[in-house]
Structure 1
């Protein structure tokens, strides 16, 4: 029974290898070949063939396997020794990649014949999985982003670092030659809601280049081995761009937690693949169209930097702490969220709000402002007096206001109703129920981590 199971596994290995080879042939025959993806397929196909050669002792199949191995090895050598332009030659493709039917005709082995006949279905499945991964990668690209650094309040040091690492090399590539190289692996960490993702979006708005916005969930698949391939395809796709590409990975701690002896093999393989790709960023240099700049920059964000594995932490050249906003920033954030609404707050009242919201994150302040904006709407239901505006509409007012008209909300046509202006008392009411979500203990953890490993981005 055990021997039968081993034979089934061996045949399946043949099927998968031939399916991979067919996929390699189809990708190479395309008019616009993805050269990095072609290399990846070639390397994986060669590794499969070598593995089968170590475990299969059948002499008949060994003959076919040796032919296949030589063909793929030749392809692999040609890919490493030839440029992308020379590979586009149709004669080269035909020479380097013979049809897999040739391998089937050289043996009458029943198992090998079955393996090839089934490979058409398997190759279709593999091709479909590749297309699915490519679509998933394409979906992460952000186009026409309107957010810029001017839309991010405060965080001067963080914006300066990102400007130096990404914007300057993109605009002035001639300045970053020789040993002057921009930072290519950056970690943004801090409490939730402090603007890490917003900063990454601002990068997309500042530069005219490929920007991949990826979360840890985008890189995980329920199929065994697909997560590693998805990570590999993401970086291969980014390297295939003519311009410098930026990959932003949010909640990176979901993929890069500390390794231990009890974690699953699939999880360990995902981490290993991501580590290899991050190393390749440091080693891979751009092509001739990109001067001497590296072709991929990765920005990661996390709320729990102390949970990241040290191997990943070491690979980040810049670890920038995105702290809670200070008093002036808190005031600016509140004003930003209320700037499209009529307000009756004085300068002194805005200052008081900046003081009373200590410990609030940017997200907390956005929720506070939104709650305050709803207060005039709530007052409409119990309103008893309205005043007519210059454009013949009716706004809720107090009893003492001049020209106030006593009537109920239901007596006024809905399209003529206006809410009153935003007042300081609206924020006072909301501060009773809207509290800061970041505790002092959490802040102490971030401060200790920054003292050891990071830099302040304020």
Structure 2
């Protein structure tokens, strides 16, 4: 009698069927005597195929009855090892790809087996770890439906846990964010003041709970959201399209529900931050597939549910570079839309100076004016790249320097050949711990500006300004 083992992987377009011979249960005792698979070049491919098929046959028999999990794990390891070696020595690319897909399928099946129900405990008997059997229920046998890969003791999806950033990763406060004074003021009034002065927000003075940050890329929208979470010392869920969208039917909607439910269960305030939210909330059209429509509908429902729950302390923040691409239904649910503009001249000077806090820039006022004129229209991220490039130029000169002098603190720095006390050496001949670069000069920034142009065009800026004006009048 033959037995068919069905394997389905998310990495392959068609199922993989392995037909193995059905043996009696006495063969289960032989799994411990399976020889170790090695990468010896003399090992024939046929032996490896037989090894993998034999392990799969024993696995099928083992999973039919009272499962011995250590035995299953041992068999999976043997099968995985044999297929890995086959893939490494396989010259046919099509067969190698099939073996790689089979490995992914085996790993997925292993994750399903070890996803045990809450309260599951193992017991020890006769020197072997035995696991009590349990009945697994399958909600849907459709090959496109993907069960959860792991189980959490708290009942929270691991994918949702991955969105929750640890407190140590959010350290900046609003004062640390340079510029964006209007945006910081609105965020302070909407999120921080209600938490610190709840008595002020009673009756009709209700705080905003859904805010949208929009503006050119690199202006600090994400940093603003992190700064608010740092001020409140509350859980911060960082969500992107990659976290929520899945090719499996129903998985994206479930993740969205789990995210909002877990945020509402927090003992304190919580912030859900959607970065590049336009990738999730684009305008709906006839060309949208069914999966995209369901995800948008679920997200709209969760946003409405959060707004109607008077006891909820979940704040929803979104950030986008393309607010005009968002669906009007989502825009309506954001109570305030905040424009994160490019930094002004004073903010640009502060951003550049911040990167040289260890050694203040020795620039005159006239040099600052020339530099600020050259960097007009730069975003915060552009200025960071500019400062990094300018700071590297003095370091690059060290490699070609041939004359050196001692500084007041007994360090060694490059100089010209006519400098009093100049020494002629190459960089490799000097003690590395005493070599320092010259200070950054205005010319370094001008050279850096020629190689790191701004990323936001004048046309883009005008479009943001037009959108802001239209948004305020609507």
Match among 225, 228, 233 for residue 253 of structure 2: 228
Does the CA contact (< 8 Å) of 1:342 and 1:422 recur in 2?
A: no
Distance 1:120-1:445 versus aligned 2 partners, 3 A rule = closer
Does the CA contact (< 8 Å) of 1:214 and 1:248 recur in 2?
A: yes
Does the CA contact (< 8 Å) of 1:253 and 1:308 recur in 2?
A: yes
* CA deviations over 1:118-138 (Å, ceiling 9, x no partner): 627979x85656649622222
Does the CA contact (< 8 Å) of 1:341 and 1:422 recur in 2?
A: no
Q: What TM-score does the superposition give when structure 2 sets the normalisation length?
A: 0.66
In the alignment, is residue 434 of structure 1 matched against residue 457 of structure 2?
Answer: no
In the alignment, is residue 368 of structure 1 matched against residue 386 of structure 2?
Answer: yes
In the alignment, is residue 350 of structure 1 matched against residue 368 of structure 2?
Answer: yes
User: Which segment drifts farther, 156-165 or 399-408?
Assistant: 399-408
* Aligned residue in 1 for 2:97: none
Which structure would you say has the larger RCO, counting Cα contacts within 8 Å and 6 or more residues apart? 1
Q: CA deviation at 1:432?
A: 1.5
Distance 1:407-1:127 versus aligned 2 partners, 3 A rule = closer
Match among 313, 318, 327 for residue 331 of structure 2: 313
In the alignment, is residue 184 of structure 1 matched against residue 209 of structure 2?
Answer: yes
Query: Counterparts in 2 of 1:31-180, with a 5 A limit?
Result: 119=137, 126=147, 128=149, 131=152, 134-142=157-165, 143-144=167-168, 145-180=170-205
What SS does the aligned partner of 2:183 have? Answer: helix
What SS does the aligned partner of 2:157 have? Answer: helix
Q: What TM-score does the superposition give when structure 1 sets the normalisation length?
A: 0.69
Q: In 2, Cα distance between the equivalents of 1:192 and 1:184?
A: 24
Does the CA contact (< 8 Å) of 1:364 and 1:437 recur in 2?
A: yes
* Aligned residue in 1 for 2:275: 250
Q: In 1, Cα distance between the equivalents of 2:298 and 2:227?
A: 28
Does the CA contact (< 8 Å) of 1:148 and 1:206 recur in 2?
A: yes
Does the CA contact (< 8 Å) of 1:320 and 1:454 recur in 2?
A: no
Unaligned ranges ≥5, structure 1:
1-115, 287-293
Q: CA deviation at 1:172?
A: 1.6
Q: In 2, Cα distance between the equivalents of 1:369 and 1:140?
A: 32
Q: In 2, Cα distance between the equivalents of 1:382 and 1:164?
A: 54
Q: CA deviation at 1:305?
A: 0.3
* CA deviations over 1:261-293 (Å, ceiling 9, x no partner): 11110000000001011111210021xxxxxxx
Q: In 1, Cα distance between the equivalents of 2:418 and 2:150?
A: 70
Q: CA deviation at 1:312?
A: 0.4
* Aligned residue in 2 for 1:269: 294
What SS does the aligned partner of 2:405 have? Answer: strand
* Aligned residue in 1 for 2:403: 385
Q: CA deviation at 1:259?
A: 0.2
* CA deviations over 1:142-193 (Å, ceiling 9, x no partner): 3132101111111111101000111111112222222211001100000000
Q: CA deviation at 1:355?
A: 2.0
Two-structure CA RMSD over aligned residues (Å) = 2.2
Distance 1:257-1:120 versus aligned 2 partners, 3 A rule = closer
Does the CA contact (< 8 Å) of 1:133 and 1:230 recur in 2?
A: no
* CA deviations over 1:290-326 (Å, ceiling 9, x no partner): xxxx421101000000000010011111001111111
Q: CA deviation at 1:415?
A: 2.3
Q: In 2, Cα distance between the equivalents of 1:283 and 1:240?
A: 16
* Aligned residue in 1 for 2:54: none
Q: CA deviation at 1:217?
A: 1.4
What SS does the aligned partner of 1:345 have? Answer: coil
Match among 218, 236, 239 for residue 193 of structure 1: 218
Distance 1:389-1:182 versus aligned 2 partners, 3 A rule = same
Distance 1:338-1:118 versus aligned 2 partners, 3 A rule = closer
Unaligned ranges ≥5, structure 2:
1-133
Q: In 1, Cα distance between the equivalents of 2:316 and 2:198?
A: 18
Q: In 2, Cα distance between the equivalents of 1:188 and 1:407?
A: 54
How many residue pairs are counted as aligned between the two chains?
332
Give the helix-richer structure, 1 or 2: 1
Does the CA contact (< 8 Å) of 1:397 and 1:404 recur in 2?
A: yes
* CA deviations over 1:233-283 (Å, ceiling 9, x no partner): 000000001212111110000000000011110000000001011111210
Q: In 2, Cα distance between the equivalents of 1:177 and 1:400?
A: 75
Does the CA contact (< 8 Å) of 1:321 and 1:454 recur in 2?
A: no
Q: CA deviation at 1:453?
A: 1.1
* Aligned residue in 2 for 1:397: 415
Q: In 2, Cα distance between the equivalents of 1:344 and 1:381?
A: 23
